[in-house]
Every structure is written in structure tokens, then in C-alpha cells.
Chains A and B, each alone.
Chain A
Amino acid sequence: MKLLDLFQREQRASAGEARERLKIILAHERSLRSQPEFLPRLQQDLLEVVKRYVSIQSDQVRVQLDRHDMMSVLEINVTFPNTALSGGVQGGGH
């Protein structure tokens, strides 16, 4: 009886999990909120251009704007497996 009690208490002690999950999701949602509205379109345009040369998926082009005091940095990351390179270059481009 006592042991079961203890076990159930352990199961219910979930506040720490709630806190960590919230921190992660809110950091993500806040970064989306502060981005300019044109960013999704820029991401799409870039994706189309890169696709002509390398076969990639839409989530492999990541675009992010970091605002600093005096200037902003537009960071564009395109990542893909090496296999996409050989296939894509031979296949497309014209």
C-alpha cells in the first residue's frame, strides 16, 4: 500500500517536465513571432532555386533573421545528405 502510494506520487511529480517542455516550445514560438512576414516567402523562393541544382526537401532550407543593435544578420542554412548532391547535379539544372 505504502509502496504503491510512493510510486503514484512519483508518477504525478510532473511539474518539472511541464516546465522544460514549456521553455522549449515558447522559445520556438517567440522566435517565429519576431521574424518579418516575408520570411516564409523568401524561404520558398530559395528552396525553388536550390532545387534546380540539388534535390532537397523543403525543411532542409532554413532561414532566420537575427536582429542586433546596429544591424541584422540573415542566416540561410541549406543542409542535405551527400547522396542528394550526385543525383541532383546530374539530373537538373537546365
Chain B
Amino acid sequence: MAKVIVVTSGKGGVGKTTSCASLGSGLALRGHRTVMIDFDVGLRNLDLILGCERRVVYDLVNVIQGEASLQQALIRDKRADELYMLPASQTRDKDALTLEGVQQVIAELSRDFDYILCDSPAGIERGAQLAMYFADEAVLVTNPEVSSVRDTDRIIGLLHAKTLAAKEGRKITEHLLITRYSPERVHQGEMLSLEDVQEILAVPLMGVIPESEAVLTASNKGIPVIHDETCDASQAYRDAVARLLGEERPLRFTEYRKQGLFSRVFKGGR
């Protein structure tokens, strides 16, 4: 039986897809059979971040409507052996996704995989609710910023009310993933600190991903940033994966140290 994990946020553009791609790759690199489902019907992006956009033939809606088998639609990642992904449809409208259809796909994937990661669309409407419905765990991607924190809180409300787990009286395991964190701006008092965000949301912290130029470079190339081992964001995602697997890791890249001229010139702020 696979563990179903939804990567969600409420607010758009906070780093769900970036995080899903790196967490999925990280789980696979650690030897776990992992599949990612892109639930962002109409706006699919996970394929681009993974660099497999040209290999997309069939998608989630095709499978649900019986136009393709799962085997035909699943795309195998080029970099991590144990990683697969199921793309979202770009042309169909959102109503093509049905609860029964999603249930069937997840049940079938559940037999072959250890982890199923659901990349949620933004918002708190039907699409986001479908992505979270069958989840056992939730990664709450949050930027240290008022509207993102508020939207995450609303998503937590939905996790408690509108999921299968909630209806069966089970509790979804929640993980807070703070992304685009800038220790320097926190130090200057310009940005909510990770302690602030964690205290307000009261969800266990799974990781803090620093604001990093390497993320843009990675998405330009179609290689999830976790593969760029030289950068802080990659290390932070590796730590997050380890914590997801139950290991303890101290936080890194969260303290501000004033950089000397030397390291500023030669490291270029990575």
C-alpha cells in the first residue's frame, strides 16, 4: 500500500510544483518507488519542471475516461530510476476529473508504488479538494508572507473537513514546508521568521527551503533543483526528504551570517 501525500498551499505560485518535483526525486533517489500526479488540469507544469514535457502522450484525464491505460500514460523519469509521473491534461476542462476516477487511479497506483505525490493546483476549490481527498499526509508549502500563511491555514481547515481521512475519523499527518526563505530579510525584521510561521500554524516543520537562484536555473533546464547538489536549496530538500522518512536532521541555511566580501564575490550568493 502506497502512502498518498498531497503537496498543497492554497495560495498560487509559492513553490508547490518545484517542491513536488524535488521531494519526489529525493524519495526515488533514496530507493522508494514514487509516482507524482499533476492535478493542475489545464495548467500542467510538473512535466516542464521534470524536463519530460516532450514525452507526454496521454494524461490523467485520458486514463480516467478509459482512453489510455496507466502503463501508457506513466512517464519514467530520466534521472531517478524509481520515479514516474502522470501528467495533467492541458486541453480538457477541470470537470473531467471525477472523484471515482481519481480513486481508481490512486488504488491502481497504490499496488505498485511506495509513495504517491499529488501536486495540487492553487486555490481552495474543487481541484485542490480533489488533490487532497485521498491523502494520508500533506506537505503544506508556505512562503513567509501574510497571504500565504493565511491560505495555508484555510487549507488545514479543508484537510480537517473535506477529505476521506476526515470522514473516516483519521488524521492526516501534516508537514510544514517553508519555501523562499531569506535569513537576511528575517534578520532585518522584514520577513516573518520560521518560528513565527510555525507558531501561527502549529504544524510540525518538515523543512525550510531558502530563496535561491538555483531554482530558476533548474526549472530553465528541466532538472529538479534537488539534483544540483552544490546549492543550498538542494541540500534543504534532501533534509526535508530525510525528515519525511522519519529521520532527524538539524535545520540548515536558516541563520543569517554576514558574508565577507570574499565569499560574496566568489560564491555569487548561491
- Decide yes or no whether B269 CB sits under 8 A from chain A: no
Contact A22 B190 (CB under 8 A): no
Interface of chain A, helix or strand or loop or mixed?
Answer: helix
Contact A15 B153 (CB under 8 A): no
Contact A29 B154 (CB under 8 A): yes
Distance A19 CA – B192 CA, assembled complex (angstroms): 7
Distance A12 CA – B193 CA, assembled complex (angstroms): 14
Kindly provide the distance from the CB of A17 to the nearest chain B CB, expressed in whole angstroms. Answer: 9
Interface string of A1-31 (1 = CB under 8 A from B): 0000000010011111011011101100110
- Decide yes or no whether B109 CB sits under 8 A from chain A: no
- Residues on A with C-beta less than 8 A from B150 are 22, 25-26, 29
User: How many A-B contacts at CB < 8 Å in the complex?
Assistant: 43
- Decide yes or no whether B164 CB sits under 8 A from chain A: no
For chain A, residues 28 to 57, give those with C-beta under 8 angstroms from any C-beta of chain B: 29-30, 33
Contact status of A22 and B200, CB under 8 A, knowing A9-B188, A13-B188, A29-B153 = yes
Contact status of A15 and B192, CB under 8 A, knowing A26-B150, A26-B153, A33-B157 = yes
- Residues on B with C-beta less than 8 A from A13 are 188-190
- Residues on B with C-beta less than 8 A from A15 are 186, 189-193, 196
Kindly provide the distance from the CB of B69 to the nearest chain A CB, expressed in whole angstroms. Answer: 41
- Decide yes or no whether B146 CB sits under 8 A from chain A: yes
- Decide yes or no whether B149 CB sits under 8 A from chain A: yes
Interface string of B179-215 (1 = CB under 8 A from A): 0000000101111110010001000000000000000
Distance A13 CA – B150 CA, assembled complex (angstroms): 20
- Residues on B with C-beta less than 8 A from A12 are 188-190
Interface size class of A (residues with CB under 8 A): 10 to 19
Closest to B153 in A: A26
Contact B188 A22 (CB under 8 A): no
Identify which of A12, A15, A33 gathers the most chain B CB atoms within 10 Å of its CB: A15
Kindly provide the distance from the CB of A34 to the nearest chain B CB, expressed in whole angstroms. Answer: 9
- Residues on A with C-beta less than 8 A from B188 are 9, 12-13
Interface string of B132-161 (1 = CB under 8 A from A): 000000000000011001100110010001
Kindly provide the distance from the CB of B196 to the nearest chain A CB, expressed in whole angstroms. Answer: 5
Distance A19 CA – B191 CA, assembled complex (angstroms): 10
- Residues on A with C-beta less than 8 A from B157 are 30, 33
Report which of A16, A18, A19, A30 forms a contact with B153, defined as CB distance below 8 A: A30
Distance A26 CA – B196 CA, assembled complex (angstroms): 13
Distance A14 CA – B193 CA, assembled complex (angstroms): 11
Identify which of A12, A22, A26, A33 gathers the most chain B CB atoms within 10 Å of its CB: A22
Contact status of A22 and B189, CB under 8 A, knowing A15-B196, A29-B154 = no
Kindly provide the distance from the CB of B17 to the nearest chain A CB, expressed in whole angstroms. Answer: 25
Distance A22 CA – B192 CA, assembled complex (angstroms): 11
For chain B, residues 198 to 251, give those with C-beta under 8 angstroms from any C-beta of chain A: 200
Interface string of A68-85 (1 = CB under 8 A from B): 000000000000000000
What residues of chain B have their CB less than 8 Å away from a CB belonging to chain A? Answer: 145-146, 149-150, 153-154, 157, 161, 186, 188-193, 196, 200
What residues of chain A have their CB less than 8 Å away from a CB belonging to chain B? Answer: 9, 12-16, 18-19, 21-23, 25-26, 29-30, 33
Query: 7 closest pairs, A vs B, by CB?
Result: A13-B189, A12-B190, A19-B196, A33-B157, A18-B146, A15-B189, A26-B153
